[in-house]
Amino acid sequence: MGPAALVVVVPGDLQTLTGGYAYDRRMIAGLRDRGWTVDVREIDGSFPSPTPAARARAARVLGEIPDGATVLVDGLAFGAMPAEAERERDRLRLIALVHHPLAAETGIDAALAARLNASERRALACARQVIVTSRATAKMLAVLQPPAASHQPPHPSHQPPATSHLVSSASRRSSLARATTFCFARSRCCAMSNGG
């Protein structure tokens, strides 16, 4: 069996100096150190409020990824591209990396929060796995009510074990979950799986 491979999709420049991008860079470096092949694809930085051109580019980027690939999409983009996730969910193994729910951002009005919440729920329903960067984020996502769909987000009763940094709710850990566990031995993060 060859080395594990992952495509990571991030909105904007991966070298942006914020905590979320630093987390993404550290995860990518950790996976590469462990022998993973990681292909980074940058999409427009306007997410989570993408322009029509940004949406079209994101659709093209996803469409160019080979069938069956495992694709981790940063939540800043993933939650804002439900139509694209719905179109690709059967072709790609989509994984969402959520740093913070979009609707929980401070300084946004109730109408925008409601739109972001609905968008993120739809997108997360397409993910085979959701990786969150903190227990607080896991708890916030657990209260999102999923739309009616065959791919359901994690059940609200899922509580990661206190001793684990990254836990899959599936009966066995995925290889990405295991690798990410090693990458973030000192981090607080957990993964919730939709199965598959």
Q: How far apart are CA 8 and CA 102, in angstroms?
A: 19
Instruction: Tell me the average pLDDT across 8-13.
Output: 88
- Helix (H) / strand (E) containing 192: strand 190-193
pLDDT in tens, 32-86: 999 899 999 999 999 999 999 999 999 999 999 999 999 999 989 999 999 999 9
The structure's pTM equals 0.75
pLDDT band (50, 70, 90) for residue 162: very low
Question: What architecture does CATH give domain 5-193?
Answer: 3-Layer(aba) Sandwich (3.40)
CA dihedral (53, 56, 60, 62) in degrees, to 10, reads 110
Q: Take residue 130 and report the two structure tokens written for it.
A: 């959701």
pLDDT at 143 over 80: no
Question: Is 128:93 a contact under the CB 8 Å cutoff?
Answer: yes
Domain range annotation of the chain: 5-193
Question: Which has more pLDDT, 174 or 76?
Answer: 76
pLDDT band (50, 70, 90) for residue 123: very high
State the residue for tokens 């790609």: 92
Positive or negative: CA dihedral 171, 118, 150, 75:
negative
Neighbours of 111 (CB within 10 A): 8
Question: Is 78:85 a contact under the CB 8 Å cutoff?
Answer: yes
Q: How far apart are CA 6 and CA 71, in angstroms?
A: 6
